[in-house]
Amino acid sequence: MGIMSFDLKKYIAQKRKDIDEFINSYFNPSIIPSILHDSVLYSLTAGGKRLRPILCIASYEACDGNKNIVPYATAIEFIHTYSLIHDDLPAMDNDDLRRGKPTNHKVFGEGIAILAGDGLLTEAFTILANPEYADINPKTLLKVIYEISKAAGLRGMVAGQAYDLISEGKEPDEKIVEFIHVYKTAAMIKASVKSGAILAEVSEEKLHRLETYGHSIGLAFQIIDDILDIEGTTEEMGKPKGSDIERGKMTYPRVFGIENSKNQAKRLIEKALQEIEIFGEKAEPLREIAKFIITRTK
């Protein structure tokens, strides 16, 4: 594959197809109560970008991995989807719309939405604990489970969500907005990239570079999200524009101003690109994804 010929759209479409096929093959409606089955699939197939599993696969490929790790990558999407379902609940962000569709609890009720999230989170680990999907060394899979669960748990995404929740309406604070963004969003994006590298059993140096890449694009992703809440359109975003402001959310533009936030996102993407230079052509998907993050409109 020559650099000039790399087509991100095509790459993403192919990976999404693989991920969607795994999702559809995974659930057996005869065992799962049907309302729960419907609730889980509703959110899993609501048109997500599949950014995290695609990053995991792209990172794995950049490290010369050549097995089919789609099931493990998709486990990360299960965790991401659970976090969105719980995030949208009335007791959390109380959102009625997600990607232009009614949120899970609006369709299935709060009780089932809570359980669907719980189930997706748990099921991710059932997938990751199965070495047979791609004949992966058990020690390697344990490292992936450790990495992902730490990034998702009380010292990761859940901590970020808690700070996000308790900081609503508070005075702008640089340290707190940084904490929220690093833990709420960057931690899991970093873990997605790192998981691909761990699965490929890459060297410590390369792992560290991909870690920095993942952290940087993860933080940039959330900053751009904050900016889109101000500059995007409801149609593009699939949810009401300005909802962060209305809710008094601790966002980057609110703390640093919109121009500083844009510059910070740009610097982070540049740093990410620098870090993965040594991977050469094989990191082309990772490069294009980094550039996409800063130019996206939804």
**Residues making contact with a second copy (CB under 8 A):** 27-28, 31-33, 35-37, 40, 82, 86, 89-92, 109-115, 117-123, 125-126, 128-131, 137-139, 141-143, 145-146, 149-150, 152-156, 158-159, 161-163, 165-166
Beta pairing, strands 101-102 & 97-98:
antiparallel
> Minimum distance between the CB of residue 90 and a second copy, rounded to whole angstroms?
8
> Minimum distance between the CB of residue 145 and a second copy, rounded to whole angstroms?
4
Tokens at 81, concatenated: 């989807």
> Minimum distance between the CB of residue 52 and a second copy, rounded to whole angstroms?
15
- Residues 103, 107, 111, 113, CA torsion sign: negative
3 state SS for 192-203: HHHHHHHHCCCC
> Minimum distance between the CB of residue 233 and a second copy, rounded to whole angstroms?
29
Phi-psi label, residue 47: left if phi above 0, alpha if psi -120 to 50, beta otherwise: left
Q: Using the minimum distance from each CB to a second copy, give the nearer residue, 162 or 245.
A: 162
Q: Using the minimum distance from each CB to a second copy, give the nearer residue, 183 or 221.
A: 183
Q: Using the minimum distance from each CB to a second copy, give the nearer residue, 86 or 194.
A: 86
> Minimum distance between the CB of residue 124 and a second copy, rounded to whole angstroms?
8
Q: How far apart are CA 152 and CA 175, in angstroms?
A: 20
Q: Using the minimum distance from each CB to a second copy, give the nearer residue, 35 or 258.
A: 35
Q: Using the minimum distance from each CB to a second copy, give the nearer residue, 133 or 279.
A: 133
Q: How far apart are CA 32 and CA 108, in angstroms?
A: 15
Between helices 110-128 and 70-87, what is the axis angle to 10°?
A: 160
**Residue 193: how many CB atoms within 10 A of its CB?**
29
